[in-house]
Chain A
Amino acid sequence: MLSRYSRQFAAQLSNQLKRLQSTLVIAEHNNETLSPITQNAISAAQKLGGEITVLVVGTKCGPAVEKLTKAKGVQRVLVAESDTFKGFLAETVAPLILASQKQFNFTHILAGATAFSKAVLPRVAAKLDVSPVTDVIGIKSADTFVRSIYAGNAIQTLTANDAIKVLTVRGTSFEPSNLEGGSAASEKAPEGDYTSDLTSFVGQELSKSDRPELTSANVVVSGGRGLKSGDNFKLLYDLADKLKAAVGASRAAVDAGYVPNDMQVGQTGKIVAPDLYIAVGISGAIQHLAGMKDSKTIVAINKDPEAPIFQVSDYGLVADLFKVVPELTGKL
């Protein structure tokens, strides 16, 4: 009798504890469309258990809010729409997140690991006096996380002792969550004066492309120093168009000025994990492998049979890229 009672009590307690978990996910969008990495972040938040609130901040939140209120597993959408947030500056967004935290007492604050969240969340964490965890690739429990260190050459499992966990999660490590089947209420985020005279946004110069976005593309074609010039990247664009692929680059190709730096794949660039990654004229330095070695299938085209890229590739072609890339494009 007593044991049955205590078992019931324990079950109740664990349910209560689960309810006590609550996660704030910071949505990422460009005032027009919701970034796909937000879906990966929501799915990471679901692994933590407990309630999920999504914060949408920007100068125009409508499009993102519309999608997120229908997202499965989301209980609440907080909206902070104001010209104050022009450029999504850390100095204005961080105080808003802190105000939201103060009102709702989340146990976790989480976002997809992007340039935006990497700038903002550590600022939030320092204000909360907690140690953030960057680029999480696995969630073992509400306080135990897996991340890669040393450019992906070691995998660290850690327990975070701080009361509030501030996390950025690697998009490619979590399946995108469903944007249908939910019905969350949207409400205004805590009001406050979030203007900051510390920083002002001047402008952006975004690379325009009709191809899929690099970090979420199913197929990525990347070029390295072997391409020899920016003009020769056209060979890769042609191949990419046939495969509906995004085009990436190694650091060598970016440093040589062949392509802009936002195309860089690697430890210091973007981390991708497509179904198919085709590395053309890329030797396969540690720094580059860090950004692509979780791809499902890797194809390497390189004339040097000793190139390290062949140690991670599923299929290798030891050949002159200027001959075989056009041939491959022609045969697709």
Chain B
Amino acid sequence: MARVLVGVKRVIDYAVKIRVKPDKKGVVTDGVKHSMNPFDEIAVEEAVRMKEKKLASEIIAVSCGPPQSQEVLRTALAMGVDKGIHVEVSGSDYDTLQPIHVSKILAKIAQQEKVDLIIVGKQAIDDDSNQTAQMTAAVLDWPQATFASKVEKDDKGLTVTREIDGGLETIKCKIPAVISADLRLNEPRYATLPNIMKAKKKPITKITPKDLGVDVSPRIKILSVEDPPVRQAGVILPDVDTLVTKLKEGGHIP
């Protein structure tokens, strides 16, 4: 049975309308609702289903970030994860923490914990990078099954259906492997109140990147964060004929 590591990121809730800071250094995060990155919920759900099917023995969740990251670890524990590891990164280090750093951290923990599978979301909805799974696989020299919409595990390895631009493709890969979860992989469960209570008793270990020997010095300098250009307000048209006229005027139709 496989030991599974899942990566979970605390991000601004997907339904929040974000605001750019007046000094253009970033977006306002204080006092804003945060939750688990939606793709990571899918990753956790997949790991828990593997355990329910007796394909996985233990699930470990890792989150890198400020102390509040423990909240998303608790959520993962309430969904069925066995234990959490919080890799504390705060302040300016967290502002420039990137997938390259996180992938090295995940790779180190994967080796220490002797895991067979790493499952992460395909991208975080804050930085929209879509890099961590691929980079973790590279660091470990493991195969990668990115943008997975179906994962089947047997003794020999994994059969994974991937979402690609023109449709779907199927690959087989050896274990150990890194999987990145796409939206269609599953429907994550809600944590029930009894499970939330139980999760409070599950262990969360706190470590730092330094403990793992991972250098988190910045690879980028953020020059500015600004609002996107605002679209001019449009008009509501009374009927189809007016729309056809407007499309003709715009040169969209002959």
Which A residue sits closest to B252, measured CB to CB? A276
Contact present for B219 and A130 (CB under 8 Å): yes
A-B pair count, CB < 8 Å, reads 248
B103 lies within 8 A of chain A by Cβ = yes
| 28 A/B residue pairs, CB under 8 Å, sorted by A | A115-B164, A116-B165, A121-B134, A122-B138, A123-B135, A125-B131, A131-B99, A132-B100, A132-B131, A149-B128, A154-B20, A155-B225, A155-B227, A157-B223, A158-B223, A198-B142, A198-B143, A200-B171, A200-B172, A203-B170, A204-B170, A261-B149, A267-B128, A298-B234, A315-B235, A316-B234, A327-B240, A331-B241
Contact present for B224 and A156 (CB under 8 Å): yes
Q: Which residues of chain A are near B100, meaning CB under 8 Å?
A: 125-126, 129-132
A60 lies within 8 A of chain B by Cβ = no
Chain A interface mostly helix, strand, loop or mixed? Answer: mixed
B201 lies within 8 A of chain A by Cβ = no
Per-residue B-contact encoding for A297-308, CB less than 8 Å = 1, 0 else: 111000001000
Given known A149-B127, A150-B27, A199-B173, contact A162–B222 (CB-CB < 8 A) = no
Which of B130, B144, B253 is close to A134, meaning CB atoms less than 8 Å apart?
Answer: B130
Which of A118, A261, A297, A331 is close to B244, meaning CB atoms less than 8 Å apart?
Answer: A331
Per-residue B-contact encoding for A142-170, CB less than 8 Å = 1, 0 else: 00100111111111111111100000000
User: Could you tell me which residues of chain A, from 295 to 328, have a CB within 8 Å of some CB in chain B?
Assistant: 297-299, 305, 310-318, 324, 327-328
Q: Which residues of chain B are near A270, meaning CB under 8 Å?
A: 165
Given known A122-B135, A158-B222, contact A297–B250 (CB-CB < 8 A) = yes
Contact present for A116 and B126 (CB under 8 Å): no
A residues whose Cβ falls under 8 Å from a Cβ of B: 87, 89-91, 94, 114-116, 118-127, 129-135, 144, 147-162, 196-207, 215, 219, 243, 251, 254-255, 260-262, 267-268, 270, 275-276, 286-287, 293, 297-299, 305, 310-318, 324, 327-328, 331-332
B residues whose Cβ falls under 8 Å from a Cβ of A: 12, 14-15, 17-18, 20, 27, 39, 98-100, 103, 122-123, 125-132, 134-139, 141-147, 149, 159, 162-174, 177, 182-184, 218-228, 231-237, 239-241, 243-244, 246-247, 250, 252-253
